[in-house]
Amino acid sequence: MSLQVVIIGAVAAGPKAGCRIKRLEPSASVIMLDRDSIISYGGCGIPFYVSGDVADLKELTSTSFHMERDPAFFAGAKGIEVRSSTEALSIDRTAKTVRVKDLATGDQSDLPYDKLVIATGSNPMVPPIPGADLEGVTPVANLHQAQAIKEAVAQGQVGAAAVIGAGATGLEMAEALADLWGVEVHLFEMAPQILPGLVDAEMARMMECHLQAQEDIHLHLGAKVQAIEGGEDGKVKAIKADGQTYEVEQVILATGVRPNAALAQEAGLDLAGNGGIQVDEFMRTSDPDIYAGGDCVSIANLVSGQPMYLPAGSLANRQGRVIGSNVCGGSARFPGAVGSWCIKLFGLSLARTGLNQAAVQDLGRECVAPLVVQADRAHFHPDNQLMYLKLVVERGTRKVLGLTALGENGDAVVGRVNAVAGLLAQGALLDDISNLELAYSPPLGSAVDVLNAAANSCDNMLAGKLRPLSPEEFSRRLAEGPGGNTVILDMRAIDNAKPFLECLAPQWCHLPQETLMQRLDEVPRDKDVVLVCNSGVRSYEAQVMLDGAGINNTYNLSGGVAAVKKWGEPILPEDEEQ
Amino acid sequence: MSLQVVIIGAVAAGPKAGCRIKRLEPSASVIMLDRDSIISYGGCGIPFYVSGDVADLKELTSTSFHMERDPAFFAGAKGIEVRSSTEALSIDRTAKTVRVKDLATGDQSDLPYDKLVIATGSNPMVPPIPGADLEGVTPVANLHQAQAIKEAVAQGQVGAAAVIGAGATGLEMAEALADLWGVEVHLFEMAPQILPGLVDAEMARMMECHLQAQEDIHLHLGAKVQAIEGGEDGKVKAIKADGQTYEVEQVILATGVRPNAALAQEAGLDLAGNGGIQVDEFMRTSDPDIYAGGDCVSIANLVSGQPMYLPAGSLANRQGRVIGSNVCGGSARFPGAVGSWCIKLFGLSLARTGLNQAAVQDLGRECVAPLVVQADRAHFHPDNQLMYLKLVVERGTRKVLGLTALGENGDAVVGRVNAVAGLLAQGALLDDISNLELAYSPPLGSAVDVLNAAANSCDNMLAGKLRPLSPEEFSRRLAEGPGGNTVILDMRAIDNAKPFLECLAPQWCHLPQETLMQRLDEVPRDKDVVLVCNSGVRSYEAQVMLDGAGINNTYNLSGGVAAVKKWGEPILPEDEEQ
């Protein structure tokens, strides 16, 4: 008899596994269930559908060449039987059956399986806020919710909206509402930064500055949402946070998701501490005939070695293929993930792979992570844009642990992160990034790429030659003024330095780097000296020269004036060079 | 006494080494010579200066923040003594001196060194063509030549030009002249393809089609240039190739460069078979006190294990840093290169890392390299563009040997190549690319990235499940017509297939993939059947289904209609979908 496979969940991991099974084992019988009526869609596309970038919901449920991935498609093109609007109620591991319920008719039946695939996805977390159940308050966890939001907005019912949670989904939804539809958006985040846990505060702040500059976005960080209030019609009318009331017609709950692992748990399968289903590198659960993948599983973080919950369509697809191979007797492996991630908001892109600095410190491991700023291609090429990089390298082992990158040119930003992602999984060392051979031609790269430069900065820091100062610390010292313990020494040409001298002297002094060796006696010795140039390169040169001359009371402003401005230090004057 | 370092050559590797030495060892005395008057420039920027993208020559000799890198800059900012217009005549390795000649005064003297760095770069090859010495015939090996060309063009003296050699420099110069200045450019290449040795004919042809579509570019492949003819004024007047005469006012020799290793050879240092100076992974020559780097050295190809000559500013800079570290007693390593490379021409980008298919075959190694076509980001995102990838994987070992990518979005193209480059150096296997964790968000990537898809295609091919047909072979079979041995089965919807059926039936037949299993008896058995869809995905699905049904006389058109069109098959009708 042919192999009987049942797949629970038909969004990403499930369909991928099913298709792979049918390609490897055409005679297999594959039945795929989903409690929803809409299946096999790109959930990550929801904000782009709401924004209007994606005009029709069908595009999220179609192949690249416009074939709609509905049950008929799966039957004809893939040989898979899909039962949508069908819920899996329980798994009998001894009998090897799944009890299912047809949600239209209420009929229940038992489906036998040789191999079972659980791809039940995630559930949105609903925060315990009074009024979270009002009409107009919704997570964006499926296409029905997406459609309802878009309809309300398109019909002009939403003048102002609140988004609770400034993770990736919350931010993308905020942009979707504000950018095309001109909805006034209040974005509330409990943490003191956007994207908490995903990027360091320093990089998050650069994106925050960019968001704050957008007309319809109001960012409320460290905010406590107290209540959502409804009108007499039962619809949301306002949101109360930090004692203030904001009138809104729509509230989006974007406070994260958790693994939907109840079915697995009830069947007695092992769960990880993060609530995800425990799987081995073959994506097998604690029952060898049951596989699981996608947003319902816990995976290994290949950098930290710790379990990680990382719901992402990209991982779900990769896991689905591995499951498909192994269901058919293969031994394909999904060893885990390094945690690659990206977002583009109002034209500014931010991406990360591996661990950020804070995550490394949380693990009790010591690292360096200087901020590096450089053009994303030849600085003389007209298309060049500055890119902001933080490469994280462990002290002692010199192991590369992660990279965060930010810049206007999204493909270039993600390109740097992707170049490091695969190397993290291989346990690459710092020198592998120093020597990393990025393709070079002036319109497409630099002779010394910003990524190579970031590695070299880490190398210099580990060698004790670079003593960087973060924009935050610089800002703190600048705020102390001339009465504080810091003198700022501008190493640039007078044209660059002049506006800064005019408004910040006597704390801000001028000493061009190329004249430094002749003017050593002008370097203050009684205070800390922060060396400043446009990008941190010339000031590093100066720091090394001063060290060589026995003058060690200096710090180098990481990423220079470019980084401090991007970071949003308010008291700096405008500078034409930037 | 302080360390005495002499550096011969002040363009890329030399200055990088010098600056690194001064940062590590501020007390070192560093003297850097160059026979040219212009030093420390981005030679790769020359075509962009000629095109006008870079307005002023100074930008190529300046830092990113507009400090000109002249001898005064090196003295003040770097503590390096530069002697330009000074030629190194010979090296006395016993006395440890370099005999140098001041080209302005003719004075000669001996410079003592503890450590010597040779960074003498490359020399352009001048082809043995009669008339190659006429006025107006020039390589573009330095900024003087670049300036002369730009001046002639800007003054309107050049209506038509010839470029000999369709390597990277020749192509970039052709674009520079045609694109902004409207010069009619005849590009002559001896080989039957552009970029010979750099990319496979299949990928080269996609770029050739793109170039042929440009108004002022005339591509002459497999061409033999017989003579360059001058007028009475001694200036170039015409070029004769393949029996035809073309009137031109400028001829650019872009037939490649060879290592400038004469000085090293005369000093008795070992050279490699390719003419480059032999160095170890510390960039040390056969004399332990002499280092060499940049365009004058031979390096190891980390994929093939063979010696390689790869002149590139990016490698020169990395090597310069390694030399600097080691001159100061360090043990930094430059183990070699995988050969990353890229070019952007009239908006289309092409990049490669590692070995292309032809190079692997030349080594006698067996590989698979199916052409894969997919959008460079979520297919439902409006910014998406198709990307064309060829991943090369060795049979047996499953080792990844190289990747070539082509597409309109240059940063995305180079991003894929860079993501593989570092992994090649680590000896990555196919599954590392299948699972490669590219960051995903719809505006910046795909859930299953085109790179993952390329790896999966290789996997399917190695497993014997995918039998691809190249665009070239497809074109050959198409040309045979209905009388040949091939039937083409279009697996797409009728809307897509209709124009093809209208002009190519009965050889071109229609059988939508989703109806295949019900219509198996309509699949021809007496001829080869080529399965066709838009991108090669649905037709692969069909191939697998047919195999499962015991029908094995099929091939899958790699990359589908999209690839064949990009490749320039002339007889296909227009198709709205593309």
pLDDT tens sequence across B107-146: 999 999 999 999 999 999 999 999 999 999 999 999 999 9
Is residue A61 scored above 90 in pLDDT? no
Is residue B154 scored above 70 in pLDDT? yes
Residue A223 lies in a domain: yes
CA distance A75 to A71: 6
Instruction: Find the largest Cα–Cα distance for chain B.
Output: 90
Within this chain, do residues A450 and A352 fall inside the same structural domain, yes or no?
Answer: yes
Strands, sheet with A4-8, edge to edge from the N-terminal-most edge strand: A81-83, A29-33, A4-8, A115-118, A290-292
Q: What are the chain B neighbours of A428 within 8 Å (beta carbons)?
A: 422, 426
Task: Read off the CATH number of the domain in which A36 is found.
Answer: 3.50.50.60
Measure CB to CB from residue A442 to each of B48, B382, B418 and give the nearest one.
Answer: B48
Within this chain, do residues B304 and B356 fall inside the same structural domain, yes or no?
Answer: no
CA distance A497 to B189: 52
pLDDT confidence tier of residue A43, bands split at 50, 70 and 90 = confident
**Residue type at A16?**
K
Residue B446 lies in a domain: yes
CA distance B329 to A480: 42
The DSSP symbol for B517 reads G
Kind and range of the H or E run holding B323:
helix B313-327
CA A455 to chain centre: 22
Q: Which residues are paired to A99 by β-bridges?
A: A90, A110
Q: At what angle do helices A471-480 and A201-212 cross, to 10 degrees?
A: 70
**Residue B313 to residue A447, Cβ atoms within 8 A:** yes
Environment class of A268 (CB within 10 Å of its CB; exposed 0-12, middle 13-18, buried 19+): exposed
**Residue B415 to residue A418, Cβ atoms within 8 A:** yes
**Residue A249 and residue A136 in contact, taking contact as beta carbons nearer than 8 Å:** yes
Q: A169-183, B21-35, B47-61, B433-447: which range is least confident on average? A: B47-61
List the domain range (segments joined by +) for residue B410: 340-462
3-state secondary structure A369-419: CCEEEEECCCCCCCCCCEEEEEEEEECCCCEEEEEEEEECCHHHHHHHHHH
CA distance B284 to A461: 26
pLDDT tens digits for B435-490?
Answer: 999 999 999 999 999 999 999 999 999 999 999 999 999 999 999 999 999 999 99
- Per DSSP bridges, beta strands B297-300 and B341-345 are unpaired
Within this chain, do residues A454 and A472 fall inside the same structural domain, yes or no?
Answer: no
pLDDT tens digits for A171-195?
Answer: 999 999 999 899 999 999 999 999 9
Write b or e for each residue in B545-577: b if 16 or more Cβ atoms lie within 10 A of its Cβ, otherwise e: bbbbeebeebbbbbbbbbbbbbbbbeebeebee
Is residue A575 scored above 60 in pLDDT? no
Give pLDDT, residue A578.
39
Residue A421 lies in a domain: yes
Task: Read off the CATH number of the domain in which B535 is found.
Answer: 3.40.250.10
End residue of a domain, out of B405, B429, B462: B462
**Residue A430 and residue A400 in contact, taking contact as beta carbons nearer than 8 Å:** yes
Q: What are the chain B neighbours of A333 within 8 Å (beta carbons)?
A: 431, 435
Residue B519 lies in a domain: yes
CA distance B207 to B210: 5
**Residue A538 to residue B65, Cβ atoms within 8 A:** yes
**Residue type at A378?**
A
Beta-carbon contacts of residue A35 (< 8 Å; ≥ 6 apart): A85, A86, A87, A88, A103
Q: Got the DSSP string for B163-177?
A: EE--SHHHHHHHHHH
The DSSP symbol for B396 reads T
Give pLDDT, residue B41.
84
**Residue B439 to residue A414, Cβ atoms within 8 A:** yes
pTM score:
0.95
Give pLDDT, residue A230.
96
Measure B370 CA to nearest chain A CA, in Å.
18
A539: nearest CA in chain B?
A: B77
Is residue A48 scored above 70 in pLDDT? yes
Is residue B63 scored above 90 in pLDDT? no
Is residue B575 scored above 80 in pLDDT? no
Q: What are the chain B neighbours of A443 within 8 Å (beta carbons)?
A: 48, 344, 349, 410
Within this chain, do residues A27 and A117 fall inside the same structural domain, yes or no?
Answer: yes
Measure CB to CB from residue A341 to each of B48, B317, B439 and give the nearest one.
Answer: B439
Kind and range of the H or E run holding A251:
strand A250-253
**Residue B444 to residue A411, Cβ atoms within 8 A:** yes
**Residue A488 and residue A481 in contact, taking contact as beta carbons nearer than 8 Å:** no
Q: Which residues are paired to A244 by β-bridges?
A: A241
Within this chain, do residues B47 and B61 fall inside the same structural domain, yes or no?
Answer: yes
Give pLDDT, residue A288.
97
Q: Got the DSSP string for A71-128?
A: HHHIIIII--EEE-SEEEEEEETTTTEEEEEETTT--EEEEE-SEEEE---EEE----
Within this chain, do residues B143 and B251 fall inside the same structural domain, yes or no?
Answer: yes
Within this chain, do residues B416 and B482 fall inside the same structural domain, yes or no?
Answer: no
Backbone dihedral region for residue B106 (phi beyond 0: left; psi -120 to 50: alpha; all else: beta): left
Within this chain, do residues B300 and B395 fall inside the same structural domain, yes or no?
Answer: no
Q: In A180-238, where does DSSP find H-type helix?
A: 201-212
pLDDT tens digits for A124-135?
Answer: 999 999 999 999
Cα-Cα-Cα-Cα dihedral sign, residues B145, B150, B152, B153: positive
Average pLDDT, chain A: 95
CA distance A30 to A17: 10
End residue of a domain, out of A255, A290, A305: A255
**Residue A271 and residue A263 in contact, taking contact as beta carbons nearer than 8 Å:** no
Write b or e for each residue in A441-453: b if 16 or more Cβ atoms lie within 10 A of its Cβ, otherwise e: bbbbbbbbbbbbb
Within this chain, do residues B116 and B264 fall inside the same structural domain, yes or no?
Answer: yes
Angle at the Cα of B490 from the Cα atoms of B486 and B492, rounded to 5 degrees: 170
Average pLDDT, chain B: 95
A67, two tokens: 């074939």
Give pLDDT, residue B504.
93
Is residue B571 scored above 80 in pLDDT? no
User: Can you give the C-alpha Rg of chain B in angstroms?
Assistant: 27
Give pLDDT, residue B406.
98
Give pLDDT, residue B43.
84
CA distance B359 to B62: 38
Phi, psi of A47 (to 5 degrees): -60, -30
**Residue that is written with structure tokens 């009137």 in the block:** B247
Length of chain A (residues) = 578
**Residue A26 to residue B168, Cβ atoms within 8 A:** no
**Residue B488 and residue B507 in contact, taking contact as beta carbons nearer than 8 Å:** yes
pLDDT confidence tier of residue B578, bands split at 50, 70 and 90 = very low
Write b or e for each residue in A210-244: b if 16 or more Cβ atoms lie within 10 A of its Cβ, otherwise e: bbeebebbbbbbebebbebbbeeeeebbbbbbeee
Within this chain, do residues A220 and A270 fall inside the same structural domain, yes or no?
Answer: no
**Residue A445 to residue B375, Cβ atoms within 8 A:** no
Within this chain, do residues B489 and B439 fall inside the same structural domain, yes or no?
Answer: no
Is residue B322 scored above 90 in pLDDT? yes
Measure A247 CA to nearest chain B CA, in Å.
31
Within this chain, do residues A89 and A164 fall inside the same structural domain, yes or no?
Answer: no
**Residue B321 to residue A353, Cβ atoms within 8 A:** no
Residue B130 lies in a domain: no
**Residue B448 to residue A317, Cβ atoms within 8 A:** yes
CA distance A323 to A332: 8
The DSSP symbol for B574 reads P
Residue B578 lies in a domain: no
End residue of a domain, out of A306, A327, A348: A327
Of residues B280, B261, B380, the one with CA closest to residue B336: B280
Mutation pick from A301, A376, A411, A490 vs chain B, by most beta carbons of B within 10 Å, is: A411
pLDDT confidence tier of residue A77, bands split at 50, 70 and 90 = confident
Residue A532 lies in a domain: yes
pLDDT tens digits for B175-212?
Answer: 999 998 999 999 999 999 999 999 999 999 999 999 99
pLDDT confidence tier of residue A573, bands split at 50, 70 and 90 = confident
pLDDT tens digits for B336-393?
Answer: 999 999 999 999 999 999 999 999 999 999 999 999 999 999 999 999 999 999 999 9
A13, two tokens: 């991991």
Give pLDDT, residue B288.
97
**Residue B187 and residue B173 in contact, taking contact as beta carbons nearer than 8 Å:** no
User: Domain tally for chain A?
Assistant: 4
**Residue B48 to residue A434, Cβ atoms within 8 A:** no
**Residue B283 and residue B293 in contact, taking contact as beta carbons nearer than 8 Å:** yes
The ipTM value here is 0.94
**Residue type at A422?**
G
Measure CB to CB from residue B410 to each of A67, A431, A444 and give the nearest one.
Answer: A444
pLDDT confidence tier of residue B64, bands split at 50, 70 and 90 = confident
Residue B157 lies in a domain: yes
Q: How many CB atoms lie within 10 A of CB A56?
A: 10
Measure B232 CA to nearest chain A CA, in Å.
39
Half-sphere exposure of B438 (CA within 13 A, CB side): 31
